[in-house]
Amino acid sequence: MQPSYNHLPEKLKNHYFIARHGFSLANNAKLICSNPDIAIPSVGGPLNTGWGLHERGKCQVKEKAATLAEHLFTKLHVKPEDIVIFCSPFVRTRQTADIIQSVLNASEPIPNIELRERFYGEYDMTSDENYHLCWQDDASGPDHGEHSDKGVEAPSSVCDRTTQFIVDHIESKLENKTVILVAHGDVCQIMQTAFMRTDAWRHREMQHVDTADWRAMNEEVVISHP
- pLDDT value of residue 192: 98
**Which residue ranges in the chain fall short of pLDDT 70?**
219-226
Q: Is 24 helix (H, G, I), strand (E, B) or coil?
A: strand
Tell me the CA distances in angstroms from 11 to 162, 167, 171, 214, one per residue in order.
Answer: 17, 11, 10, 22
Q: What is the pTM of this model?
A: 0.95
Tens digits of per-residue pLDDT, 157-213?
Answer: 999 999 999 999 999 999 999 999 999 999 999 999 999 999 999 999 999 999 999
Nearest to 2 by CA among 186, 167, 208: 167
Long-range contacts of 213-217 (CB under 8 A, 24+ apart): 213/19, 213/20, 213/64, 214/17, 214/18, 214/19, 214/20, 214/64, 214/67, 214/68, 214/180, 215/17, 215/18, 215/19, 215/188, 216/15, 216/16, 216/17, 216/71, 217/16, 217/17, 217/18, 217/191, 217/192
- pLDDT value of residue 1: 86
Long-range contacts of 76-79 (CB under 8 A, 24+ apart): 76/15, 76/178, 78/178
Report yes or no: 25 and 54 within 8 Å, Cβ to Cβ.
Answer: yes
- pLDDT value of residue 219: 67
